[in-house]
């Protein structure tokens, strides 16, 4: 059917041939998504200078491209209103072939909004520049390898957050596997124990304590209370036996959250009240309400780890009451998505409609949707003027009645939420002084440089490799103590749940091959006007996913 249309159009109007894409066919590099979209998971995303940047998009599942070797930077301009379903609003720039194609990475902007750091994630093709961190310079729109610093090993399936207020980005959890390193060729996962902090001004990485010996997924949020702010880690899935191929996965209970005091370098295990269903592969967004001095962490999307059913429920954890509330659910299922917050508007980006790795993961029209945290509804358009968030009156009166949890994990944690945040003293100071100091590696110190790089001829690349080993040396030491982490669970992970055809897992192609999209030879406009072609095309997309 589709082929017939193609021939007909060719016969009727050969001028189409000169007008556009026909001769470029499979190698068309797109400048926007006006020709449609199917899906992509999972993006790295961040907002800098009112531009929403997303990385991790290849052309394989984009109808007008269809070539998985095209790697795109996608941007949304947040200075004016736009419809999230209009493909033309998603601006695309092809990233040079020297930058490896990766999915599931962190994207951190620095406080000045001049640089984006891309850390972690899994390779979709041959593994090149294994632990290298790439940075994007906004001014010249260029990608470069980050040099001169000691860098952590590449991890996948961790979670991250950006804290521009303290010039830092954080990453928790995940592991090294065949998608991140060529040294692993089977289904082994080497879990990371700690947390990674990037100073986005100096470019320096620090290894900090993490909340779990081994964890993946979950969500990490920055909440600006206390001296330097806190991190709140929600959920997460832990393996029954660390680094064991046949480990079963278990969701952490959602009646506790892990809170990290950044200034005190200490984790607290804080209980929560209220009702919420545990889930995995969701995303989180922090909403501050100024009048009640409260912060709400919204969780969107995801799926139940055991049943694999998607979860539409939207919930939020109000802090400091540490109580869960329900908001109006999402209209459509979405898991394995990324959240980016602009005031009360939460962008849900990428992901899949169902827990599947083939066409059953579904298609959707555009990469992003917006959930308005205040009206608790999905918005069809972005409005830059909609900024401040306020609570519903019922939640507002509820948290007024119980502004703090009935039981604090520690008096020191309560102190962080004290009225005058600058005068944290007494027990807090005393306790924190006894916690382990972060292990910062001073790369400008010639002695340290020499010690680490000694005997390595490869300069900076060698340096990065060695700290990679060092990082995992630390993790491995801890592992010995705590090899068995949880009772065996019913969830067996036979395949990696989210691999969108990573290297090693399949045939090395990231999404669909170029041949799938014979329709890319049609000019965009003619396609959009032909409903049969559109539905035919969608069927085609789905039927080719099972490769
Ligand atoms: C950086 O970008 C963010 C998001 O658009 C903005 O809130 C912030 O003010 C910007 N910072 C600077 C220094 O321009
Ligand atoms: C991956 O490596 C193989 C074998 O070295 C090579 O033939 C192939 O071209 C590489 N693919 C890419 C995309 O670089
Ligand atoms: C990052 O480095 C800057 C400049 O040295 C410093 O002011 C800032 O406090 C550092 N941030 C963190 C989280 O350490
Ligand atoms: C994992 O399970 C498979 C199938 O039950 C078994 O053949 C294999 O030996 C197990 N591997 C390990 C490392 O326990
Ligand atoms: C947090 O506390 C609960 C209740 O004591 C416990 O079951 C859970 O294992 C703790 N979590 C961590 C990460 O310590
Ligand atoms: C801080 O704690 C010390 C020792 O507990 C006490 O002497 C001092 O008065 C406290 N300072 C403030 C500002 O509360
Ligand atoms: C700090 O705590 C230790 C033990 O918990 C106690 O012996 C010491 O007196 C405390 N110091 C201060 C200044 O409160
Ligand atoms: C790092 O080392 C350099 C050179 O020894 C020194 O000047 C600098 O103060 C050190 N920085 C930190 C944070 O220790």
Q: Quick check: CB of 211 below 6 Å from ligand 5?
A: yes
Residue 256, classed as helix, strand or coil, is strand
Report the pLDDT value the prediction gives residue 523, as an integer from 0 to 100.
Answer: 31
Assigned token pair, 237: 């899935």
Assigned token pair, 296: 């709400």
Q: How far apart are CA 279 and CA 218, in angstroms?
A: 8
Q: Which of 454, 318, 436, 440 is nearest to 373 (CA)?
A: 318
Would residue 17 count as lying in a domain? no
Task: Specify the ligand 2 atom closest to the Cα of 128.
Answer: 14
Task: Specify the ligand 5 atom closest to the Cα of 256.
Answer: 1
For residue 412, report the distance from its CA to the centre of ligand 7, in Å.
13
Ligand nearest, relative to CA of residue 68:
2
Ligand nearest, relative to CA of residue 205:
3
For residue 321, report the distance from its CA to the centre of ligand 5, in Å.
18
Q: Quick check: CB of 202 below 6 Å from ligand 8?
A: no
> Rounded to a whole number, what is the largest CA-CA distance in the chain?
83
Would residue 18 count as lying in a domain? no
For residue 285, report the distance from its CA to the centre of ligand 8, in Å.
36
For residue 426, report the distance from its CA to the centre of ligand 6, in Å.
6
Structural domain for 414, as ranges: 280-425
Q: How far apart are CA 144 and CA 459, in angstroms?
A: 16
Burial 165-177 (b: 16+ CB within 10 A, else e): ebebbbbbbbbbb
From residue 432, how far is each of 258, 269, 372, 420, 427 by CA, in Å? 16, 15, 38, 19, 8
Q: Quick check: CB of 49 below 6 Å from ligand 1?
A: yes
Contact (CB, 8 A) for 322 and 405:
yes
Q: Which residue has a Cα nearest atom 6 of ligand 1?
A: 49
Ligand nearest, relative to CA of residue 423:
6
For residue 202, report the distance from its CA to the centre of ligand 3, in Å.
7
Q: Which residue has a Cα nearest atom 11 of ligand 8?
A: 442
Would residue 130 count as lying in a domain? no
Report the pLDDT value the prediction gives residue 471, as an integer from 0 to 100.
Answer: 52
Would residue 432 count as lying in a domain? no
Q: Which residue has a Cα nearest atom 1 of ligand 4?
A: 246
Q: Which of 49, 157, 158, 159 is nearest to 109 (CA)?
A: 49
Written as tens digits, the pLDDT of the chain (547 aa) is 333 333 333 333 333 333 333 333 455 899 999 999 999 999 999 999 999 999 999 988 999 888 888 999 999 999 999 999 999 999 999 999 999 999 999 999 999 999 999 999 999 888 988 889 999 999 999 999 998 778 899 999 999 999 999 999 999 999 999 999 999 999 999 999 899 999 999 999 999 999 999 999 999 999 999 889 999 999 999 999 998 889 999 999 999 999 999 999 999 999 999 999 999 999 999 999 988 889 999 999 999 999 999 999 999 999 999 999 999 999 999 999 999 999 999 999 999 999 999 999 999 999 999 999 999 999 999 999 997 899 999 999 999 998 899 999 999 999 999 743 333 333 334 444 334 444 444 444 443 333 333 222 333 444 444 444 445 434 444 443 333 322 222 222 222 323 354 543 433 223 333 333 322 222 333 333 322 223 333 333 333 333 3
DSSP string, 447-504: HHHHHHHTT-TTHHHHHHHHHHHHHHHHHHHHHHHT-B-S---SEE-SS-TT-SS-TT
Number of domains in the chain: 1
Contact (CB, 8 A) for 85 and 366:
yes
For residue 317, report the distance from its CA to the centre of ligand 5, in Å.
18
Would residue 334 count as lying in a domain? yes
Q: Quick check: CB of 128 below 6 Å from ligand 2?
A: no
Ligand nearest, relative to CA of residue 426:
6
Torsion angles phi and psi, residue 27, rounded to 5: -100, 20
Would residue 387 count as lying in a domain? yes
Q: Which residue has a Cα nearest atom 4 of ligand 8?
A: 445
Would residue 513 count as lying in a domain? no
Q: Which residue has a Cα nearest atom 6 of ligand 2?
A: 126
Q: Which of 113, 107, 102, 30 is nearest to 78 (CA)?
A: 113
Q: Which residue has a Cα nearest atom 1 of ligand 8?
A: 445
Assigned token pair, 386: 């909609």
Q: Quick check: CB of 426 below 6 Å from ligand 6?
A: yes
Report the pLDDT value the prediction gives residue 26, as an integer from 0 to 100.
Answer: 53
| pTM of this structure | 0.76
Assigned token pair, 101: 């194609």
Q: Which residue has a Cα nearest atom 4 of ligand 4?
A: 246
Contact (CB, 8 A) for 11 and 85:
no
Residue 381, classed as helix, strand or coil, is strand
- Tracing tokens 């980016």 back to the chain, one arrives at 340
For residue 224, report the distance from its CA to the centre of ligand 4, in Å.
46
Q: Which residue has a Cα nearest atom 11 of ligand 6?
A: 425
Ligand nearest, relative to CA of residue 508:
2
Assigned token pair, 36: 């449609």
Q: Quick check: CB of 445 below 6 Å from ligand 8?
A: yes
Query: CA angle 212-216-217, nearest 5°?
Result: 120
Ligand nearest, relative to CA of residue 204:
3
Q: Is 94 exposed, middle or buried (0-12, 13-18, 19+ CB in 10 A)?
A: middle
Task: Specify the ligand 5 atom closest to the Cα of 258.
Answer: 13
Contacts (Cβ under 8 Å, ≥6 apart) of 530: 5
Assigned token pair, 8: 């007909």
Q: How far apart are CA 233 and CA 261, in angstroms?
A: 12
Pocket of ligand 3 (CB under 6 A): 166-168, 199, 201-202
Q: Quick check: CB of 182 below 6 Å from ligand 2?
A: no
For residue 77, report the distance from its CA to the centre of ligand 1, in Å.
13
Ligand nearest, relative to CA of residue 166:
3
Cβ-based neighbour number of residue 23 at 10 Å: 10
Would residue 441 count as lying in a domain? no
Report the pLDDT value the prediction gives residue 125, as an integer from 0 to 100.
Answer: 85
Contact (CB, 8 A) for 266 and 288:
no
Rg of the chain (C-alpha set): 24
Helix (H) or strand (E) holding 159: strand 159-163
Q: Quick check: CB of 442 below 6 Å from ligand 8?
A: yes
């Amino acid at each position: 059917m589709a082929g017939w249309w193609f021939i007909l159009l060719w016969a009727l109007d050969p001028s189409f041939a000169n007008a556009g894409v026909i001769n470029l066919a499979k190698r068309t590099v797109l400048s926007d998504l006006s020709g449609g979209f199917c899906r992509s998971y999972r993006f790295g995303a961040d907002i800098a200078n009112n531009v929403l940047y997303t990385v991790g998009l290849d052309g394989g599942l984009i109808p007008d491209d269809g070539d998985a070797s095209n790697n795109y930077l996608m941007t949304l301009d947040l200075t004016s209103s736009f419809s999230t379903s209009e493909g033309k609003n998603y601006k695309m720039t092809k990233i040079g072939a020297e930058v490896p194609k990766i999915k599931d990475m962190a994207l951190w902007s620095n406080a000045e909004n001049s640089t984006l750091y891309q850390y972690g994630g899994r390779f979709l093709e041959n593994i090149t520049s294994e632990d290298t961190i790439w940075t994007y310079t906004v001014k010249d729109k260029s990608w470069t390898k980050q040099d001169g610093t000691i860098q952590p090993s590449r991890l996948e399936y961790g979670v991250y957050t950006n804290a521009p207020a303290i010039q830092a980005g954080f990453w928790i959890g995940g592991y090294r596997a065949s998608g991140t390193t060529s040294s692993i060729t089977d289904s082994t996962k080497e879990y990371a124990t700690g947390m990674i902090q990037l100073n986005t001004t100096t470019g320096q990485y620090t290894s900090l304590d993490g909340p779990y010996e081994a964890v993946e997924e979950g969500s990490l949020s920055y909440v600006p209370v206390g001296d330097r702010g806190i991190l709140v880690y929600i959920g997460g899935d832990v393996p029954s036996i660390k680094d064991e191929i046949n480990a079963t996965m278990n969701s952490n209970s959602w009646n506790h959250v892990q809170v990290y005091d950044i200034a005190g370098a200490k984790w607290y295990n804080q209980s929560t009240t209220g009702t919420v269903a545990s889930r995995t592969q969701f995303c989180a967004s922090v909403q501050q309400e100024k009048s009640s001095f409260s912060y709400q962490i919204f969780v969107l999307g995801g799926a139940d780890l055991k049943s694999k059913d998607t979860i539409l429920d939207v919930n939020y954890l109000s802090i400091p009451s540490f109580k869960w509330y329900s908001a109006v659910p999402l209209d459509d299922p979405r898991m394995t998505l990324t959240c980016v917050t602009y005031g009360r508007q939460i962008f849900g980006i990428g992901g899949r409609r169902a827990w599947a790795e083939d066409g059953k993961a579904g298609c959707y029209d555009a990469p992003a949707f917006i959930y308005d945290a205040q009206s608790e509804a999905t918005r069809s358009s972005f409005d830059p003027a909609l900024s401040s968030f306020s609570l519903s009156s019922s939640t507002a009166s509820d948290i007024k009645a119980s502004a703090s949890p009935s039981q604090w994990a520690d008096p020191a944690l309560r102190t962080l939420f004290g009225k005058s945040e600058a005068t944290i003293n007494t027990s807090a100071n005393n306790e924190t002084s006894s916690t382990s100091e972060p292990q910062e590696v001073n790369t400008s110190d010639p002695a340290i440089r020499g010690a680490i790089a000694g005997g390595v001829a490869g300069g900076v690349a060698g340096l990065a490799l060695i700290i990679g080993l060092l990082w995992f040396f630390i993790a491995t030491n801890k592992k010995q103590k705590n090899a068995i982490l949880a009772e065996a669970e019913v969830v067996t992970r036979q395949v990696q749940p989210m691999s969108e055809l990573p290297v090693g897992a399949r045939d090395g192609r990231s999404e669909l091959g170029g041949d799938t999209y014979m329709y890319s030879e049609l000019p965009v406009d003619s396609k959009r006007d032909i409903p049969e072609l559109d539905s035919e095309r969608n069927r085609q997309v789905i039927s080719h996913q099972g490769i």
